[in-house]
Amino acid sequence: MDASDQLWIRCPRLGGETVFSYCLREAGDLPCHRIIACWQVYFPIEKYLKDRFTPQQWEEFQGRRPKEKLSSLLELIDEAQKNTEGQ
Amino acid sequence: MEQRKIVLPDSEIPRQWYNIVADLPTPMSPPLHPGTGKPVCAEDLAPVFPMNLIEQEVSTQRWIDIPEPVLEKYLLWRPAPLCRAINFEKLLDAPVKIYYKYEGASPAGSHKPNTAIAQAYYNKAFGIKRLSTETGAGQWGSALSMACAMFGLECRVFMVKISYEQKPYRRLMMATWGGECIPSPSDRTQAGRNILAQHPDSPGSLGIAISEAIEDAVGNKDSRYALGSVLNHVLLHQTIIGLEAEKQLAQIGEYPDVVMGCAGGGSNFAGIALPFVRDKIHGKELTIVGAEPTSCPTLTRGPFAYDFGDIAMSTPLLPMHTLGHGFVPEPIHAGGLRYHGMAPIVSHLVKEGLVEARAYDQIETFTAGVQWARCEGVIPAPETNHVIAAVVEEAKRAKQEGKQKTILFNFSGHGMIDLASYDSFLSGKLTQHRLSDEEIARALKDIENFPKP
């Protein structure tokens, strides 16, 4: 366990407690889109992320705005249909 | 002796759900398909939902009959009791009467079965054999597993792997009810396999779990997908909570000045609130509040950036200026209920000024929940603690204003499966305050070499 695992927060998306290191990798290559909103009260998370990111990565992170639920459902249906074609 | 519980006989259970769409003063904009830019049509949703539920999703009919087989299942625990929290009233020492609708009485321990049972029924009636869904901590997955068992459907639940490992009890509930709980990402779907190929040790995420559940449904003609919040038909099914509460309050000649619920995706809040929003639309004077989570502590609530800076300059205990980071926090919109995961109906009601939002941070919500447990007995689900924090604030407000108020809120579930969350709070594991320079340095030192994105 690293020290970031000592930073615990209640995750409003999962409905349970989670550690900072999970927030950092929630979206695979990028952190959870809520990471700044959730952690900025506790420490300068935005600066921390900017220090870690290349400008391109920061731009990609900033650009990943979550979509409305129905829009994301429709996109996932399209994607799922492609994934299951020929099965 | 004052009456503590108002119980409706089985024969008085509401026989229709209420659809607020019929009464909205301003119609909602139709959702647009992100691919075509055209309004979403039934066919777009047909791969994942049965047509009878899609009809409810787009319905503008005010009252929708609850099918008899659904009522039969509801009667296992409904009508849910309406209780008066007299001990909590005494603790708060404010001029308030507090009534709560106890949804923890359901077999799964929360309000979720109100829609899980309806969705299982409609899928069964449409000829579906298996439902797939995703779940975070497992509240929805367990409710759907139970509902599927009741209607003879298979149930597959993709549970975010980190929660699957941390929360054994809800997956055991799913297993007991015959649901198959799969840690996500999994090798069952292409979406899961893609993630595992890139990140074999991925802890999962809600986004991945949704992708897997949808792919599982789309890939099989006898399968469909079920969602436990956000969508119109889900909110519709939850209105039985508020409809029962209206009848129960009428029995004792009460009507609320304030109606409150916690608002994650909006379904339990909508369940208690929508029948009262209808009254408000038709001229009743009452306040309707959705309590949502924020990371922003009470002292800094409001116009966040301004308050934050102001407070930071006023005390050396608060860190941002003393850290020397030149850190300017991104403004937090406290009490918005407008984020992407919120039900569009609820967001619309906020925009129309019919509903207001208030935000509470993790520490004040658990503090309120523990106070509640120590005088009313039931340990609330952590989500329920948000609305209890809102009740505490409303009681203080009533005391300051010197006004007598009747508060009604939705106690959305008990917390007996969430005791680990209470352990995190009671042991001080949850981050409780702004971190000092030293604490930050200590906490982040070990992740300097953490794989960078």
Distance CA B177, CA B363 (A): 34
Please indicate if any CB of chain B lies within 8 Å of the CB of A62: no
Please indicate if any CB of chain A lies within 8 Å of the CB of B58: no
A44 versus B403: the higher-pLDDT residue is B403
Q: What are phi and psi of A41, to 5 degrees?
A: -70, -25
Domain that holds residue A52: 3-84
For the CA atoms of B387, B391, B396, B400, the dihedral, rounded to the nearest 10 degrees, stands at 110
Are residues B199 and A28, on separate chains, in Cβ contact within 8 Å? Answer: yes
Q: Which residue has tokens 């050396």?
A: B316
| Identity of the residue numbered B262 | C
Which of B136, B210, B227 minimises the CB distance to A15? B136
Residue A46 has which token pair? 């935005």
Low-confidence winner among A60-69, A72-81, B39-48, B257-266 (lowest mean pLDDT) = A60-69
For B380-395, write each residue's pLDDT tens digit: 999 999 999 999 999 9
Other CB atoms closer than 10 Å to residue B419's CB: what's the count? 12
Write the DSSP assignment of B214-252 as a string of letters: HHHHHT-TTEEE--SSSSHHHHHHHTHHHHHHHHHHHHT
pLDDT of residue B257: 98
Distance CA B52, CA B37 (A): 25
pLDDT tens, residue order, chain B (453 aa):
888 999 999 999 999 999 999 999 999 988 888 888 888 889 999 999 999 999 999 999 999 999 999 999 999 999 999 999 999 999 999 999 999 999 999 999 999 999 999 999 999 999 999 999 999 889 999 999 999 999 999 999 999 999 999 889 999 999 999 999 999 999 999 999 999 999 899 999 999 999 999 999 998 999 999 999 999 999 999 999 999 999 999 999 999 999 999 998 899 999 999 999 999 999 999 999 999 887 544 333 322 222 222 222 222 222 221 222 223 333 333 334 545 678 899 989 998 999 999 988 888 999 999 999 999 999 999 999 999 999 999 999 999 999 999 999 999 999 999 999 999 999 988 876 666 667 667 666 655 554 443
Which of B210, B330, B361 minimises the CB distance to A76? B210
Q: How many CB pairs under 8 A join A and B?
A: 209
Distance CA A68, CA B32 (A): 10
Are A76 and B214 in contact by the 8 Å Cβ rule? The answer is: yes
Are residues B40 and A70, on separate chains, in Cβ contact within 8 Å? Answer: yes
Residue A28 CA: distances (Å) to CA of B106, B115, B150, B198, B452: 36, 32, 37, 8, 11
Distance CA B203, CA B163 (A): 9
Distance CA B11, CA B89 (A): 31
Other CB atoms closer than 10 Å to residue B305's CB: what's the count? 13
For B236-281, write each residue's pLDDT tens digit: 999 999 999 999 999 999 999 999 999 988 999 999 999 999 999 9
Q: Which residue of B has its CA nearest to A23?
A: B205
Three-state SS annotation for A21-86: HHHHHCECCECCCCHHHHHCCCCCHHHHHHHHCCHHHHHHHHHCCCCCHHHHHHHHHHHHHHHHCC
Residue B317 has which token pair? 């205990």
Q: Does the fold of domain B113-227 match that of domain B1-110+229-294+335-417?
A: yes
Instruction: Give the fold, CATH level 3, of B113-227.
Output: Rossmann fold (3.40.50)
Architecture category of domain B1-110+229-294+335-417 in CATH: 3-Layer(aba) Sandwich (3.40)
Are residues A52 and B34, on separate chains, in Cβ contact within 8 Å? Answer: no
Are residues B341 and A66, on separate chains, in Cβ contact within 8 Å? Answer: yes
Q: Facing residues of B232 across strands?
A: none
Tell which A residues from 7 to 36 touch B, by Cβ distance under 8 Å: 7-18, 20-22, 24-32, 36
Are residues B198 and A28, on separate chains, in Cβ contact within 8 Å? Answer: yes
Residue A30 has which token pair? 């990028």
- Domain residue spans of chain B: 1-110+229-294+335-417, 113-227
Residue B320 has which token pair? 């941002």
pLDDT of residue B295: 57
| Identity of the residue numbered B104 | G
pLDDT of residue B219: 86
- Mean of the per-residue pLDDT values of chain A: 84
Q: Which residue has tokens 């505490």?
A: B392
Residue B395 has which token pair? 């009681």
Which of B31, B202, B451 minimises the CB distance to A70? B31
